[in-house]
A = this chain, B = another copy of it.
Amino acid sequence: MQVGKLVERWRGAGMKVGFVPTMGALHQGHLSLVSLALGEADRVIVSIFVNPSQFDRGEDLSSYPSNFDEDLKKLDEAGAHCVFFPSVDEIYPEGFSTSIHVSGLTDTLCGRFRSGHFDGVATVCAILLSIVRPDIALFGRKDAQQLAVIRRMVDDLRLGVEIHAGDIVREPDGLAMSSRNSCLDPEERKQASVINSGLSRAAELVLEGERDAERICSAVREVIDKASLATLQYLELVDPDSMKPLSKLTTPALLAVAVYFGHTRLIDNLILEP
């Protein structure tokens, strides 16, 4: 049965439908979204689709981790009711020509370094939401900019779905869960915990009264630079709605970071409250 028909049937029976779009290689972060969805909806659909259009040329599409059988097992155990795993041709049939751009929000952070990435994300999410037609869709806060872009796009295009966010889930040493963590070698993996240490240092400074973005970022950079294998791509304090850079912490702000370990790019973030 087509997923859209299934959802129509469920909704016709008065059930609320939650949807968790993923690129597979599932970890506890994804599963926490499934669990959140189960608390808010009667039926939960998870999609697994590694979307080519959100990877830059030369970026890590070909090396993006996948473990489909393991994913299905995890989703079954987590209590998901349906897994939707379309092919690339199903999402982008021959002649496909449409793209969605969200301006402003995509000028900073990852948008500065991953050309076309958020157009790919916005477009595939619009398609998946239109195919599935859930009541609620859930996204993780680790991809904070993605979350802002999707909220904006869903509002602007009146896609008629509520967007809910799940908190970042971390490994015992603080590293944010990510499918890409599996690409780290043992030494990289060990050092990667500095990202969270850096963010925690920022939170401490703010507690001590620091409000200057540049001084906060310097302190974080100092922590991350201690990891010999880390290469900082960006570290920015931005408004959590507009993603515009802030020089002072006067309202809750998003401190967002991207760090390379070898070829593996990791992102993380923290909301700082003055």
Contacts and interface: CB of A to CB of B under 8 A. Distances in A.
A98 B103 CA distance: 6
Interface residues of A, number: 25
A104 interface: yes
Contacts of A122: 98
Contact of A98 (B93, B96, B98, B152): B152
Give the 3 A-B residue pairs with the shortest CB-CB distance, closest first.
A98-B156, A130-B158, A97-B103
Interface of A: 93, 95-105, 122, 126-127, 130-131, 152-153, 155-160
A272 to B, nearest CB: 23
Given A97-B103, A98-B152, A101-B101, 15 more contacts: A93-B155, A95-B152, A96-B156, A97-B104, A97-B105, A97-B152, A98-B100, A98-B103, A98-B122, A98-B153, A98-B157, A99-B100, A99-B103, A100-B100, A130-B160
A96 B101 CA distance: 12
A100 B102 CA distance: 9
A152 B122 CA distance: 17
A131 B103 contact: no
A145 to B, nearest CB: 13
Contacts of A157: 98, 100, 126-127, 130
Nearest to A133: B160
A96 B154 CA distance: 11
Nearest to A160: B130
